[in-house]
Structure 1
Amino acid sequence: MSRISRRQALSVTAGAALGLAAAGRATAAPESAASGTATSGRAAAASAHGSGPAPFDEIFLGRRIQGGPSRGGHDGGHHGGHGSGYSVRIDGEELHVMQNADGTWISVINHYEPVATPRAVARAAVRELQGASLVPLATS
């Protein structure tokens, strides 16, 4: 069974983001649709001022999801400088997340569905996993 490398995951994510930008449209998950563009605008403004999204720690559909500022790590901060400075975990395993230029968030699991907040991206990943464990990305 082959495992996807971080480089491959980032390439897919970057390609998806470019495709959405080229098409001139972005799809929204239920959380971002319900909260509207004001939420993503606030997220972008908070990031611009350095405060970032609020931390969270909750149980969602029986899974523990946590998020907060990154604490650094083995790779120079967060995935070689390509991260958002924000860390999301599902049952203790890191979920790679990225913030788009428009303030929305995506993950390696739901990179085609940008959402308004890291909490929303964690919840979307839990729904997509459907009870499966989050498997760490292979190192290249």
Structure 2
Amino acid sequence: MKKITRRQALSMSAGAATAIGLTSACSSSSSSKPAVVPAGGAAASGAPGASGASGAAKAITPVDEVFEGRRIQISLDTSGHHTGGHHLPAMPSVRVDGVELHLMPNADGSWITVVNHYETFPDPLTAARAAVRDLQGAILVPLGANGDPA
């Protein structure tokens, strides 16, 4: 009787684990997930400013509020600074005490900030509030300023 080597056993185990992982990934992606509905009412498609199921663009609601003593301002940046070109949708411009807070959209419609890359947030306002909490009173330094305050 031929014995299998340790390398062959590991190879078969890895192949089986990969097959199980792919099967579970395919079955979970085909399951229906509830649609995320932003304040504007259109279903979220994952891209910022992208059209939802109704065809209307997701609205970025302008915000100007004071949260924990810090001023948060959110507006739609249509100047092209955040769009990266003519073919991409406009992104929200988020400022904390007048300094830009860099936000990044995820494919699932959630957002992350430059202050905290490890937690996702459902909308730019929630992300900005979390950044204010994470800063704990520290001054937000503009992205790309190499540590020099503006």
Q: TM-score range by the shorter chain?
A: 0.5 to 0.7
Tell me if 1:121 matches 2:127.
yes
Matches within 5 A, 1:101-140: 101-138=107-144
- The answer to whether the 8 Å contact 1:78/1:85 transfers is yes
Q: Which residue of 1 aligns with 2:36?
A: 41
**Which deviations, in whole Å up to 9, do the C-alpha atoms of 1:37-59 show, x marking residues without a partner?**
96x81242483322333121100
- The answer to whether the 8 Å contact 1:55/1:66 transfers is yes
Matches within 5 A, 1:9-20: none
Q: Which runs of 5+ in 2 are unaligned?
A: 1-24, 26-32, 39-43, 52-56
Q: Which runs of 5+ in 1 are unaligned?
A: 1-23, 25-36
More relative contact order, 1 or 2 (CA 8 Å, 6+ apart): 1
- The answer to whether the 8 Å contact 2:49/2:90 transfers is no
Q: Structure 1: how far apart are the matches of 2:114 and 2:94?
A: 12
Q: Structure 2: how far apart are the matches of 1:53 and 1:41?
A: 15
Q: CA RMSD in A?
A: 2.9
Q: TM-score, normalised by structure 1?
A: 0.61
1:130 Cα deviation from its structure 2 partner: 0.2
Match of 1:86, SS?
A: strand
Q: Which residue of 2 aligns with 1:88?
A: 94
Q: Structure 2: how far apart are the matches of 1:105 and 1:89?
A: 15
Q: Which structure has greater helix proportion?
A: 1
Q: Structure 2: how far apart are the matches of 1:99 and 1:84?
A: 12
- The answer to whether the 8 Å contact 2:77/2:91 transfers is yes
Q: Which residue of 2 aligns with 1:53?
A: 60
Q: % of aligned pairs identical?
A: 50
Count residues in correspondence: 101
> Would you identify which runs of 4 or more consecutive aligned residues in structure 1 move more than 3 Å?
79-84
Q: Structure 1: how far apart are the matches of 2:67 and 2:89?
A: 24
Q: Structure 2: how far apart are the matches of 1:111 and 1:58?
A: 24
